[in-house]
Amino acid sequence: MAVPRTSLRGFLAQAKSSLRNAIDSSQKVTLVIGNESADLDSMSCSILYAYVRSLSPPKNAFTPLYVPITNIPAADIQLRPEYLAVFKHANIDSGHLITLDDLPPLSDIQNKLAPENTRWILVDHNALQGQLGKIYSSRVAGVIDHHDDEGKVPEDTSNEPRIIEKSGSCTSLIANYCRPKWETSSLSALSSGAAHAQGDSLSDDVAVVKRWDAAVAQLGLASILIDTANLKDDNKTTEHDRKAVEYLEAKIMLCPQLSTSFDRTSFYTEIDAAKREIGGLKLQDILRKDYKQWDQGGLKLGISSVVKHIDFLQNKAGDETDTQSASGAFLETLKKFAKDRELDMYTLMTTSTSSKGNFQREILLLAFNDNAVSAAKAFAASSKDELGLEDWHGSNSLTDTNRGDSEWLKIWWQRQVQHSRKRVAPLLREAMT
């Protein structure tokens, strides 16, 4: 049975309650989870898929309600100001998100949330990582993703999708896949008086349902625009993205409260500015804001993506210490970050705009043992041409690579700027095998 039509706020409250009941009473639950970087795309993917799927679940669904999990602790929401910028348009707040804190502690999760009582749908990734992956990988029942296929999701996913295709934003794939069911659900709600039945303060049922749709559409639209630079990044934007933006924007323009005031460029500019406002964060928090991790070939790799250049990060490290040089404090922070996560290799990828207004990328790679050093050097050799790796010129203490056989550091300009972490991560993992 489908979940009754409601607002996004109402749905998230119901989903959170359903998850608590599943944990407390050993009930079945279907969880939709994004990747562990929990960027805007992953967060919106899980919510959009769970929301629409719950309105019109498959006939033989494991459970009729799908619970969206944002793959971070609740405390880490504060590291993502772009979330808050989007939430006000979607009529929700950070307390409505369902995060890792809503799951049982990892030490007791198998007892409280038995694997056989769960189904997991992966969005914006296709391999469940970390401790959750160790426990629940065999329970993955579907995937929608735009990264390289890691071969972890079964080819036959029955009544759940197995979609792994290139697109600028994974939310685009979600929106296009869910579109038919979303339209059917909206038409049904309009004809049944669902809004009036829930006691919404507006008397016009049609306007209420359109307002609900517009709130969800803005959540999805924000991540697509951020990932494609308002559809202007030709290296990322695909037909999937253009179709999704057209559809979601039409949903917004059907809302009486927004039809005369909404402007896509202004909306994008607002969210993009919020995403880049990281100056108030500590360097450690900047590194973990958009972080992903993999185990490959017996080695552990971590990659942080940051929207500021290395010089900015060095200066921040210097501002946070009065006992070291900026470059020394920067390297110490990177090493501590990697050590805390028991990494063999750590990569920092930056994006920024040059003084001439050109988009640019940097890659910093640290390796901490013999096997990792060999893998790092293999990556440097095999990926140089594809990524356009060019020696970075900056502080001598940063670029000095003579650190012995068991530690290696290298920094490059990445001149082939069309390649994001979606491409760099697979190249690093290939070098680790």
**For 323-382, what is each residue's pLDDT tens digit?**
888 999 999 999 999 999 999 999 999 999 888 889 999 999 999 999 999 999 999 999
Q: Strand 162-164 and strand 29-33: pairing?
A: unpaired
Residues 297-313 have a mean pLDDT of 94
C-alpha angle with apex 54: 51 to 56, nearest 5 degrees?
A: 115
pLDDT for res 187 = 82
Tell me which residue range forms the domain holding 259: 8-269
Residue 248 covered by a domain: yes
Sheet containing 359-367: order of strands: 291-296, 299-306, 345-353, 359-367, 408-414, 389-391
Indicate if 32 and 175 belong to the same structural domain: yes
Q: Tens of pLDDT along 41-85? A: 999 999 999 999 999 999 999 999 999 999 999 999 999 999 999
Indicate if 265 and 315 belong to the same structural domain: no
Residue 276 covered by a domain: no
Task: Give the whole-angstrom CA distance, residue 10 versus residue 206.
Answer: 18
Q: Tens of pLDDT along 172-189? A: 999 999 999 999 988 877
pLDDT(198) > 90:
no
Indicate if 322 and 418 belong to the same structural domain: yes
Task: Give the whole-angstrom CA distance, residue 426 versus residue 412.
Answer: 18
User: What is the reported pTM?
Assistant: 0.87
Sheet containing 162-164: order of strands: 66-69, 29-33, 118-123, 140-145, 162-164
Indicate if 255 and 114 belong to the same structural domain: yes
**Mean pLDDT computed over every residue of the chain:** 92
Indicate if 158 and 295 belong to the same structural domain: no
> Which uninterrupted H or E stretch holds 306?
strand 299-306
Tell me which residue of 128, 87, 114 sits closest to 23, measured CA to CA: 114
Looking at 238, 269, 300, the residue that finishes a domain is 269
Residue 1 covered by a domain: no
Contacts of 269 (CB under 8 A, 6+ apart): none
Indicate if 99 and 242 belong to the same structural domain: yes
Indicate if 289 and 395 belong to the same structural domain: yes
Residue 336 covered by a domain: yes
Q: 204 falls in which pLDDT band (50, 70, 90)? A: low
When divided into structural domains, the chain yields a total of 2
Which CATH number does the domain housing residue 408 bear?
Answer: 3.10.310.20
CB 182 within 8 A of CB 52: yes
CB 82 within 8 A of CB 271: yes
pLDDT for res 157 = 95
Looking at 213, 236, 269, the residue that finishes a domain is 269
Q: Tens of pLDDT along 157-168? A: 999 999 999 999
Angle of helix 205-228 relative to helix 170-192, nearest 10 degrees, comes to 180
Q: Tens of pLDDT along 234-283? A: 999 999 999 999 999 999 999 998 999 999 999 999 999 999 999 889 99
pLDDT for res 3 = 74
Q: 304 falls in which pLDDT band (50, 70, 90)? A: very high
Long-range contacts of 188-192 (CB under 8 A, 24+ apart): 188/5, 189/5, 192/5
Task: Give the whole-angstrom CA distance, residue 88 versus residue 266.
Answer: 15
Looking at 269, 302, 317, the residue that finishes a domain is 269
Q: 5 falls in which pLDDT band (50, 70, 90)? A: confident
Residue 145 covered by a domain: yes
Indicate if 291 and 242 belong to the same structural domain: no
Indicate if 206 and 344 belong to the same structural domain: no
Task: Give the whole-angstrom CA distance, residue 383 versus residue 93.
Answer: 42
Indicate if 262 and 304 belong to the same structural domain: no
Task: Give the whole-angstrom CA distance, residue 119 versus residue 112.
Answer: 15
Task: Give the whole-angstrom CA distance, residue 294 versus residue 343.
Answer: 9
Task: Give the whole-angstrom CA distance, residue 89 versus residue 297.
Answer: 44
Residue 370 covered by a domain: yes
Indicate if 164 and 287 belong to the same structural domain: no
Q: Tens of pLDDT along 389-399? A: 999 986 555 65
Indicate if 294 and 352 belong to the same structural domain: yes
Tell me which residue of 154, 206, 177 sits closest to 51, measured CA to CA: 177
Query: Side-chain half-sphere of 141: how many Cα atoms within 13 Å?
Result: 20
Looking at residue 310, its amino acid is I
Tell me which residue of 212, 206, 183 sits closest to 193, measured CA to CA: 206
Looking at residue 105, its amino acid is P
Percent above pLDDT 70 for the chain: 93
Residue 162 covered by a domain: yes
Percent above pLDDT 90 for the chain: 83
Main-chain phi, psi angles of 65, to 5 degrees:
-105, 135
pLDDT for res 402 = 47
Residue 2 covered by a domain: no
Which CATH number does the domain housing residue 58 bear?
Answer: 3.90.1640.10
Task: Give the whole-angstrom CA distance, residue 372 versus residue 301.
Answer: 9
Residues 415-423 have a mean pLDDT of 93
